[in-house]
Amino acid sequence: MKNDLLSITELARLRKVTSETLRHYDRVGLIKPDYVDPQTRYRYYSIRQYERLGTIKELRSLGLSVDEIKEYFDGRNLEKSLRILKERQRLLIREIEEKMLLSQVLARKLHFLDDVRHLPAIGVPFKCHIPKRYLITFGEPAGGPREHAFAFTKLEQYLTDVAPVLASDCIGVYCDQRILYPSESYIPCVPMLFVQPDSIEKDHMVTVPANEYLCMFYRGTGLEEYNESFELLKRYLDLYNLDIAGNIFQIYKIDKTVTDDPEETLLEIQVPIKLAKKPDEDASSS
């Protein structure tokens, strides 16, 4: 009888699986040997099981679990097989779409991290135009660093796509002019996440209009904190007769998601600006 059968080693070699895989399939009832030698307990398989094992391998490659494959073989017919395979195709398409989106997010992050090495000088103010952006926020100060960490976690729950990959460059806070001045107490700031417009339900999204900004990269310990380098921003505002035109943003550019070195932590402050009115313009408008 053994002459008409394949040993476990032979079947494993033919189908390019391990003998342990076949033993596992035996234990879970997915494919049992046709014959077990009562003396040696060696397992032997028929050529029909060679074909079944091939189908199992293909179904596993499609992502079906052992239980799903057992269901596939249970009372198998054309309609049932067609239904199971169509459902698997639908799930694969959705998975591919999610992977493509994740790849796009990662590509943006890699582009940003490559550009970080060529940023304007740290601690030097510069003007730039920032186009329209989108963010999500609860609109209320979080109450301090510990609380804002919880706020960021809650904000991510509103995202409809994959969470931000290595979240630097999208996590930050916005605040008023108090952030530019030394303070011995907590400076109230509102946690927010910059998002892509298609990554969140519109009801939860806030649009930040395009504007001119006075920006500066700086080394710091974290958000919601005054930094001595902000004095350079205030001097620049005075020198060029600029007014602050809205909320000030503090954003992590390089944070603990990509480095453990505190010397590499990098933040950016973005101050919306407009040209201040001259005294005679104020008089004429009154």
What is the structure's pLDDT at 86? 95
What is the structure's pLDDT at 241? 95
Give the span between the Cα atoms of 79 and 264, in whole angstroms. Answer: 59
Higher confidence at residue 256 or residue 3? 256
Give the span between the Cα atoms of 237 and 240, in whole angstroms. Answer: 6
Please determine, for residue 54, whether its predicted confidence score (pLDDT) is greater than 70: yes
Higher confidence at residue 69 or residue 154? 69
Q: Please, what sign has the CA dihedral across residues 230, 235, 124, 135?
A: positive
Nearest CA-CA partner of 89 in 70, 64, 111: 64
Please determine, for residue 80, whether its predicted confidence score (pLDDT) is greater than 80: yes
CB 133 within 8 A of CB 218: no
Strands 171-175, 126-130: parallel, antiparallel or unpaired by DSSP?
unpaired
Mean pLDDT value across residues 266-284:
80
Please determine, for residue 200, whether its predicted confidence score (pLDDT) is greater than 70: no
pLDDT, tens digit (0-9, with 9 covering 90-100), for 144-163: 777 877 888 888 777 765 55
Mean pLDDT value across residues 225-234:
94
Mean pLDDT of the chain: 86
CB 57 within 8 A of CB 17: yes
Work out the burial of residue 184: count CB atoms within 10 Å of its CB; fewer than 13 is exposed, 13-18 middle, 19 or more buried: exposed
CB 190 within 8 A of CB 266: no
User: Torsion over CA of 172, 254, 232 and 211, rounded to 10 degrees?
Assistant: -50
Higher confidence at residue 148 or residue 175? 175
Please determine, for residue 166, whether its predicted confidence score (pLDDT) is greater than 60: no
What is the structure's pLDDT at 282? 55
Please determine, for residue 184, whether its predicted confidence score (pLDDT) is greater than 90: no
Around Cβ 120, how many Cβ atoms within 10 Å? 12
Mean pLDDT value across residues 68-81:
92
Return phi, psi of residue 207, to 5°.
-95, 130
What is the structure's pLDDT at 134? 92
Rounded to the nearest 5 percent, the helix, strand and coil shares of the chain are: 40, 20, 35
Higher confidence at residue 223 or residue 246? 246
pLDDT, tens digit (0-9, with 9 covering 90-100), for 116-130: 777 778 999 999 999
Q: Which two tokens stand for residue 281?
A: 């313009």
Q: Which two tokens stand for residue 46?
A: 């028929």
What is the structure's pLDDT at 281? 57
Give the span between the Cα atoms of 253 and 13, in whole angstroms. Answer: 52
Is the entire prediction scored with pTM above 0.75?
Answer: no
What is the structure's pLDDT at 71? 92
Give the span between the Cα atoms of 254 and 110, in whole angstroms. Answer: 12
Predicted confidence band at 199 (pLDDT cuts at 50, 70, 90)? Answer: low
Please determine, for residue 109, whether its predicted confidence score (pLDDT) is greater than 60: yes
